[in-house]
Amino acid sequence: MNQVNSRWNNWINRWQNMLDAVTKMGGAADDLIIEPPATLQQVEEIEHGLGIHLPISFRKTMLDFSAKIEFSWSLPEDDKLTIPLPSEFSGIFRGNCSWNLNNMIDINRDKDEWVKAVFPNPDDPYDKVWHHKLAFHEVGNGDYLAFDLANGPDCPVVYLSHDGGEGHGYILGNNFIDFMERWTRVGCPGAEDWQMLPFISSPTSGIESDGGNAFKWREWLNQVSNNLTN
């Protein structure tokens, strides 16, 4: 097995382990959906519609792994947990990781409407974070996970908050593959910023999947499910 295939398999195994863990503790786990990779023609059509090239590692993921992913889970109510959720993770209640190449144009049209109507001033420090971004995940509350296009062809993943969220502008990973490596290692809690923040120590640290809170989180999951591995 080559290194690239091993990476995709690691993501799949981590997703499935998380779903199994949540199921064992009495939570809700949706079926994991992994659609086939995109063709080069499909990628180029989306790029033409967006007017830009996709970031390198995101493009590679679309072409070599999958053009559409749906992964989601929800923890059971606190009173149904056999071991209480540690206080550090009191804001975590679900996980939601998804992307869909075919939705990229629509998502960014919606994001651009936010920018035009609410965050139009690139000289304003808060508004500026919304500019020169390519969204790939609509959180559902008006926030987005996005690429910072001002930082090279394989740019960082950042969080865009529409309402003053603490994670606004935070770097979540150095590029898409780095972000997914970090996020999948903690089971993809979120995608709201407050659910990822227990694993982030600063605006530039990214998700610290080898940090103390990440180990404590996996230890708790192991205790309540005896299933999830590091």
Q: What value does the mean pLDDT take over residues 77-84? A: 90
Q: Say whether 44 sits in a helix, a strand or coil.
A: helix
Q: What value does the mean pLDDT take over residues 111-136? A: 96
In the chain, where do the E strands start and end? 28-29, 33-34, 68-74, 94-100, 133-138, 144-148, 157-160, 171-173
CATH number of 3-225: 3.40.1580.10
Domain ranges of the chain: 3-225
Distances (CA, A) of 173 to 35, 124, 126, 154, 158: 24, 24, 20, 11, 7
List pLDDT tens digits, range 64-80.
999 999 999 999 999 88
* Structure token pair of residue 74: 């929800």
Confidence of residue 230 (pLDDT cuts 50, 70, 90): very low
**C-alpha span between 27 and 46 (Å, rounded):** 36
pLDDT at 140: 85
Judged against a pLDDT cut of 90, whether residue 226 lies above it is answered with no
User: Who wins on pLDDT, 155 or 4?
Assistant: 155
pLDDT at 52: 96
CB atoms within 10 A of CB 150: 11
pLDDT at 3: 57
- Chain mean pLDDT for the chain: 94
